[in-house]
A = this chain, B = another copy of it.
Amino acid sequence: MRHKQAAEILREFLKKGKNRITPERFEVMDSALDYDGHFGADDLYVIMKNQKSRVSRATVYKTLELLVQCDLLSKRNFGDNMTRYESSFKRQSHDHLICMDCGRIVEFTNTSLENIPQELSKNLGFNFENYSFNIFARCRNIKTCKYYRNK
């Protein structure tokens, strides 16, 4: 167990529901929090397999959803019909700019929205949960743009 503090959060979350505390779930949590950047569920599965883990694809997919529910991960969608995750443990919330040529993802903190999403939800008759703000653009400097999609 590499991430003790996160493990405690996960443990408490699992206890609250009708979820069982299994070693596989902590194993997935450790690998997910180790990952530096945005990853697909299958990416993580392959990494874990390469590290001789015995977890199954199904367990990885299901556990990632649990980790989103207890706010250890955030779920992202960058418009290519593939769910990505990133650690949100002890991380400031931020938004993303995606290069449409090379797929590079730049994170930025955006102050202009403040609590607009919350207020809009309220005004429209909804309880706010989440928002996503993505900018799609192209690297201006060709030297920094690799012109391929890094999947």
Contacts and interface: CB of A to CB of B under 8 A. Distances in A.
* Contact-residue bracket for chain A: 35 or more
Interface stretch (A5-13, A17-25, A115-123): A115-123
A121 B75 CA distance: 23
Nearest to A116: B112
A141 interface: yes
Given A77-B79, A133-B131, A139 B116 contact: no
B113 A129 contact: no
A138 B132 contact: no
Interface of A: 75, 77, 79, 81-83, 97, 99-100, 106, 108, 110, 112-113, 116-117, 120-121, 124-141, 144
